[in-house]
Amino acid sequence: MRAARGWWRTVIGLALTGVMLFPVYWMVNVSFTRDQDMRRSPPSLFPLNGTLEGYRAVIDQQSPYLGVSVVVGLGTVALTLLVAAPAAYSLAKLRPRGGGALGFVLLIAQMIPAIIMAMGFYAVYLNLGMLNTVPGLIVADSTLAVPFAVLVLTAFMSAIPDELTQAARVDGAGTLRTFWSIVVPVSRNSIITVSLFAFLWAWSDFVFASTLDGGGGLRPITLGIYHYIGNNNQQWNAVMATAVVASIPTAILLVIAQRYVAAGVTAGAVKN
C-alpha cells in the first residue's frame, strides 16, 4: 500500500512538472512550426509538419551573436574567479580584521538593481570610450556574479578543515602556495558551481547588453533575440529557435551540476 501511495505522488509530480514546463515545451514546439501554421487557430500541440527553417535562420543570422555571448561569458567567469577566489580564501581562512564588514557590503551589493548600475556604467564608459566593447560588457556582467561568488566560495572554503591548510604551512608552504596548491584544488566543485552561474548570468544578461552594447557590431545573443522580436514579428519560429539555442547553457548547467545548483541557489540567497 505504501508503494501505491508513492506512485500516486510520482504521477501528480509528473503532472505538476508538465504544467510548469509547458512554456518550455511550447518554445520548442513553436521553433519547429512552419510559418504558414504559425497563425493557425487553434495552434497545433505538436510540430507535425515540422521545419528546421527557424534553426537555419539562427545559424545564418545569429552565429556572430552567439560567439560574442560565449566570449563575454568566459571573460566574466575568468574575471569573477580572479577577484572572488582570493577574497573568499581570505575571508574563510585568514580572518582579516574588517572581513565581516566586507561580507555585509557584498550582501548589499547583491541587491542593487542592475538597471541602476547600468546607468552609472553608461556614464563612466561614455567618458572612457568603453561603450560597445566586449571588455566593458564583461566588467559590467561580472558585477552580477562577484558578490554571489565571494559569498558562496567563502561558505565552501570555510568547510575545509584547518588541519589541511596548517599541514601545508608546516611543510613550508606560504600563504599564496597554500591557496594555490591546497585550497583551490580542494574547492574545485564550488569553483565549478560559481563559474557555471557566472557564465549563465553573463549569457542571460539583457540590461547591460542593451544599455552598454546596443550600438556596436559585437552584440550578445540576448540582443539578437530582442531585435528579432522587434524586427520580424512574423518569423516566430526563428525567434523561438534562437531562444532554444540560448537555453543550451541552462540545460548544461542542470545536467552536469544538478546537485550543486540547488546548493548554489540557497547558499547565495540565504545568508545571515
Partner 1 sequence: MNRVTQAQAPPAAGPVPAAAGGRRAVRRPRSAQWAAWAFLAPVTGYLLLFYAYPLYRNLELSLRDYTVRSFVQGDAPFIGFANYAEVLGDPAFGPALWHTLVFTLVSLTFQFTIGLALALFFVKNFRLSATLRALFLVPWLLPLIVSSSTWSWMLNSDSGVVNAFLALFGAGPVHWLTSPDWSLWSVIIANVWIGVPFNLVVLYSGLQAIDPVIHEAAALDGATGWQRFWRVTFPLLRPVSAVTLLLGLVYTLKVFDIIWIMTRGGPSGSSTTFATWSYRLGFGNLVPEFGPGAAVGNLLIVMALVFGLVYIRAQRRQIFS
For the bound state, the minimum distance from the C-beta of residue 56 to partner 1, rounded and expressed in Å, comes to 19
Return all residues near 220 (Cβ < 8 A) that are at least 6 apart.
Answer: 65, 68, 69, 72, 137, 203, 205, 209, 213
For the bound state, the minimum distance from the C-beta of residue 160 to partner 1, rounded and expressed in Å, comes to 10
Is there binding between residue 36 and partner 1 (CB under 8 A)? Answer: no
For the bound state, the minimum distance from the C-beta of residue 52 to partner 1, rounded and expressed in Å, comes to 19
Which of 129/217 has CB closer to partner 1?
129
Is there binding between residue 9 and partner 1 (CB under 8 A)? Answer: yes
- Residues 46 to 85: which contact partner 1 by CB under 8 A? 82-84
3-state secondary structure (DSSP) of residue 222: helix
Interacting residue with partner 1 among 58, 87, 145, 194 (CB under 8 A): 87
Of 22-30, 50-58, 59-67, 70-78, which part binds partner 1 (CB under 8 A)? 22-30
Is there binding between residue 138 and partner 1 (CB under 8 A)? Answer: no
Which residue in this structure is represented by grid cell 582579516?
96
Is there binding between residue 256 and partner 1 (CB under 8 A)? Answer: no
For the bound state, the minimum distance from the C-beta of residue 170 to partner 1, rounded and expressed in Å, comes to 15
Return all residues near 204 (Cβ < 8 A) that are at least 6 apart.
Answer: 222
8 A C-beta contact, residue 49 and residue 34:
yes
Interacting residue with partner 1 among 48, 229, 232, 256 (CB under 8 A): 229
Return all residues near 190 (Cβ < 8 A) that are at least 6 apart.
Answer: 152, 153, 156, 157, 260
Return all residues near 161 (Cβ < 8 A) that are at least 6 apart.
Answer: none
Number of residues that bind partner 1 (CB under 8 A): 109
Number of helices (H), then strands (E), belonging to the chain: the values are 16, 0
Nearest residue to 62 via CA among 264, 254, 229, 208: 229
Of 53-61, 70-78, 98-106, which part binds partner 1 (CB under 8 A)? 98-106
Rounded to an integer, what distance in angstroms lies between the CA atom of residue 260 and that of residue 190? 8
Is there binding between residue 40 and partner 1 (CB under 8 A)? Answer: yes
Is there binding between residue 89 and partner 1 (CB under 8 A)? Answer: yes
Is there binding between residue 186 and partner 1 (CB under 8 A)? Answer: no
- Residues 152 to 171: which contact partner 1 by CB under 8 A? 152, 154-156, 158-159, 162
8 A C-beta contact, residue 91 and residue 156:
no
Label residue 227 exposed, middle or buried (CB < 10 Å: 0-12, 13-18, 19+).
middle
For the bound state, the minimum distance from the C-beta of residue 116 to partner 1, rounded and expressed in Å, comes to 4
8 A C-beta contact, residue 253 and residue 196:
yes
Interacting residue with partner 1 among 48, 52, 59, 123 (CB under 8 A): 123
For the bound state, the minimum distance from the C-beta of residue 19 to partner 1, rounded and expressed in Å, comes to 10
Is there binding between residue 43 and partner 1 (CB under 8 A)? Answer: yes
Which of 52/116 has CB closer to partner 1?
116
